[in-house]
Amino acid sequence: MATIKDVAKYAGVSMATASRVVRGEDNVSPKRKKLVEDAIKALNYEPNAIARQLRQKETHSVIVIIPDIRNTFFHEIIVGIEKVAFQNGYQVLLADMQNDVQVEEYYFNSLAQRQTDGIISLSANIGRRLMEEVSSRYPVVIACQYIDNSDLPNVTIDNIEASKKIMQHLIDRGYRNIGHLTSQPNILLYRDRFTGYCQVLAENGITIDLELVKYGESSLESGYEQMCALLDQKKQVDAVFAAGDIMAIGAMKALTERGIRIPQDCAVVGFDDIELSSICTPPLTTIRQPQTKMGVMAMNMLCDLMAGKELANRQVVLDYELVIRESCGYSTLG
């Protein structure tokens, strides 16, 4: 394999001149540049990418931190991120947190060691101080979630308004005893969805019964367990709003096992519109987020930050859609 020394010798120039041509620098005469380019072609020379990265302190890679890769909601976001990353010459490294905040902290600290050029976090669960400290020096974008009262670049939807919309749909259909299955209250998006749940109940004169609210992980198993705990209370429940489709599908399994018909005995709605939502039985009413667009916008923002550009808009709020299916008694798309 040819080296830069071989290229310089073949072209009849110094190694410094050959290196400047390889790095794309302008301070080389056209004649010498042509000699070096001809030598590169003749010798089939390939620059040492790792050495170049070390000199330039660039890796041409970015890390995407995922709370739990088993949750299919994140898949389309990754598709959007990878599309833009490929167009801009970046490699995407996926980091599965497995819902462990220490894993997220590890990858944020990797930026300071220049092991990657930027981070897109789909979690935002680490300490606010660490996240803001890292983002003040290195390119960081948050997608799906956000940090309250912070200028950190992020792409999300209005989770409070989206929750209010799906809750109001249930109430408009006559449901009054509505349970809520959710995840960790320290995560802002779940707090926002709970806020929307409470606000709509209050606006419609319905008493907020916290015994109808169950907490757990964002998983099928947890949705199943939360629904079982809700049913075991023997309180009247005629509808359930799960803060994620994956929990809603787990809840539907618990209802079916106990002989409770959906939606005749108990309606179920979710949030996210993952792929399973349209093919489960019955198909799930939910909130559709623009996952691919979210990924595209987040990676575009990160590319601008890595290029040293100022962001015209650091807080991007995307539209959402209420998708009405049979799990709450109506089968059309709205």
Do residues 147 and 296 share a domain? Answer: yes
In the block, residue with structure tokens 């169950």: 214
Domain for residue 278, yes or no?
Answer: yes
Do residues 274 and 255 share a domain? Answer: yes
Which pLDDT band holds residue 148 (cuts at 50, 70, 90)? confident
Q: What is the CATH number of the domain that holds 264?
A: 3.40.50.2300
Do residues 12 and 38 share a domain? Answer: yes
Do residues 213 and 171 share a domain? Answer: yes
Domain for residue 12, yes or no?
Answer: yes
Residues present in the chain in total: 334
Q: Is the pLDDT assigned to residue 15 strictly greater than 60?
A: yes
Do residues 187 and 247 share a domain? Answer: yes
Domain count, the chain: 3
Do residues 168 and 151 share a domain? Answer: no
Range of the domain at 309: 59-156+290-319
Q: Is 95 within 8 Å of 107 (Cβ atoms)? A: yes
Do residues 79 and 149 share a domain? Answer: yes
Q: Is the pLDDT assigned to residue 41 strictly greater than 70?
A: yes
Q: Is the pLDDT assigned to residue 134 strictly greater than 90?
A: no
Higher pLDDT, 17 or 242: 242
Quick: pLDDT tens for 268-311. Answer: 999 999 999 999 999 999 999 999 999 999 999 999 998 888 88
Q: Is the pLDDT assigned to residue 251 strictly greater than 90?
A: yes
Domain for residue 54, yes or no?
Answer: no
Do residues 122 and 40 share a domain? Answer: no
Domain for residue 334, yes or no?
Answer: no
Domain for residue 263, yes or no?
Answer: yes
Most confident range, picked from 55-59, 104-108, 119-123: 119-123
Higher pLDDT, 193 or 59: 193
Q: Is the pLDDT assigned to residue 10 strictly greater than 50?
A: yes
Quick: pLDDT tens for 166-201. Answer: 999 999 999 999 999 999 877 888 999 999 999 999
Domain for residue 52, yes or no?
Answer: no
Domain for residue 189, yes or no?
Answer: yes
**pLDDT above 70 coverage of the chain, percent:** 91
Q: pLDDT averaged over the chain?
A: 87
Do residues 43 and 72 share a domain? Answer: no
Which pLDDT band holds residue 232 (cuts at 50, 70, 90)? very high
Neighbour count for residue 208 (Cβ, 10 Å) = 12
Q: Report which residue type is found at 261.
A: R
Question: Once rounded to an integer, what is the mean pLDDT over residues 58-78?
Answer: 86
pLDDT of residue 283: 97
pTM, to two decimals: 0.76
Do residues 76 and 63 share a domain? Answer: yes
Do residues 88 and 204 share a domain? Answer: no
Which pLDDT band holds residue 333 (cuts at 50, 70, 90)? very low
Do residues 200 and 247 share a domain? Answer: yes
Which pLDDT band holds residue 1 (cuts at 50, 70, 90)? low
Question: Once rounded to an integer, what is the mean pLDDT over residues 128-156?
Answer: 82
Domain for residue 14, yes or no?
Answer: yes
